[in-house]
Amino acid sequence: MFKSFHQKLLAVFAAIIALTLCSTVSQAQDVSTWEAIKDRGTLRVGVTQAPPWFFKDPGTGEWTGLGPSMGRAMAKELGVKFEPVEVTWGTAVPALQANKIDIMFVLDATPSRALAIDFPSQPLLYYALAVLADDDLKVSTWDDLNKKDIKIAVTQGTTMDRYVSARLDKAEILRFPSNGEAVAAFQSKRVNAVSLFHPPLIAMRKKIGRGQIVLPSPIRQSASSAGVRREADKTFRDWVNTAISYYYQTGQTQKWYEDFLSSFGVDPTSVPAIRREDW
């Protein structure tokens, strides 16, 4: 009987401890991102090696690029320190959900992602479907590429593949399993051009050392955004919306982009802007 009473007492204590722990965890989870940033004294920004958005200097370990530049500016406005946290494009959304980062820049607002995290209403930047073409090729419209003697590489099964295939019924389209293989076809001069969304082409053109990046008209554009954690308190999300709108409208976003390109050895005037008003 004493043993039974003792076991029941232990069970009661265990239940009390469990409830206390659950309450503590719940209270911690109820702290908004806005409050947590102020309490912690840092703004945790997701970063991944992807120039021109994010670039980690192998010598110094310092992060530069559009994302870190904007992150530092936001941290300064909030009166906290900038804290880069390495993620991948695939783990950025789970990192936000798990409260490992506060924001991830250049994360496109897709319907599936919007089921898991929040996005500000103001787009962060715009990019467009582009071509990296031979320097001597005159390209201003998609029709300029729609010729029998033109060969163009695309990544199979992608937006680029579908769009180019629908528009270029006369050109020869070569489809490759990956972006890298499509660009390699241009590098080896097997094709006259390769089509991708324009930001990745910047680093690729620098590596290849030749070619012109063009946004053929009609321009097929896409907006990118910044992901934040979904929570009841929308203070941080709304502040981010105001901040990125201000940076975009004043031209600061474009300036950060161009500053990185210059430091990366790319002439900003030789590549398309990320403000659609400048196209």
* DSSP SS3 for 178: coil
Q: What pLDDT is recorded for position 10? A: 53
Q: Which residues of 24-40 are buried (b: 16+ CB within 10 A; e: fewer)?
A: eeeeeeeeebbebbeee
On whether both 172 and 55 belong to a single domain, the answer is no
Give the span between the Cα atoms of 36 and 229, in whole angstroms: 12
Summarize pLDDT for 26-64 with one digit per residue, the tens: 444 589 999 999 999 999 999 998 889 999 999 999 999
Asked whether residue 112 is assigned to any structural domain, the reply reads: yes
At position 13, the amino acid (one-letter code) is: F
Summarize pLDDT for 161-184 with one digit per residue, the tens: 989 999 999 999 999 998 889 999
Predicted structure pTM score: 0.78
For the residues 129-136, what does the mean pLDDT come to? 96
On whether both 216 and 229 belong to a single domain, the answer is no
Longest Cα pair distance anywhere in the chain, in angstroms? 95
Residue with more model confidence, 6 or 133: 133
Which domain CATH number covers 152? 3.40.190.10
Total domains in the chain come to: 2
| 231: CB partners within 8 A, 6+ apart | 32, 33, 118
The C-alpha torsion from 272 through 197 and 94 to 233, rounded to 10°, is: 50
Give the span between the Cα atoms of 154 and 62, in whole angstroms: 34
For the residues 221-246, what does the mean pLDDT come to? 97
Lowest mean pLDDT among 27-41, 141-155, 203-217, 244-258: 27-41
Contact 165, 173 (CB under 8 A): yes
On whether both 114 and 67 belong to a single domain, the answer is yes
* DSSP SS3 for 59: coil
Q: Domain boundary residue among 221, 237, 254?
A: 221
| Whole-number average pLDDT of the chain | 90
At position 170, the amino acid (one-letter code) is: K
Percent share of the chain, pLDDT over 90: 74
Contact 45, 84 (CB under 8 A): yes
Lowest mean pLDDT among 11-15, 21-25, 84-88, 213-217: 21-25
Contact 127, 197 (CB under 8 A): yes
For residue 81, what are the β-bridge partners? Answer: 42
On whether both 101 and 231 belong to a single domain, the answer is yes
Summarize pLDDT for 75-113 with one digit per residue, the tens: 999 999 999 999 998 899 999 999 999 999 999 998 999
Q: Tell me the two tokens of residue 123.
A: 């787009």
For the residues 232-249, what does the mean pLDDT come to? 98
Q: What pLDDT is recorded for position 22? A: 46
Alpha carbons within 13 angstroms on the beta-carbon side of residue 156 total 6
On whether both 206 and 265 belong to a single domain, the answer is no
Based on C-alpha coordinates, what's the Rg of the chain? 24
Asked whether residue 24 is assigned to any structural domain, the reply reads: no
pLDDT reading at 21 higher than 80? no
Q: What pLDDT is recorded for position 13? A: 54
Q: What pLDDT is recorded for position 160? A: 84
Asked whether residue 78 is assigned to any structural domain, the reply reads: yes
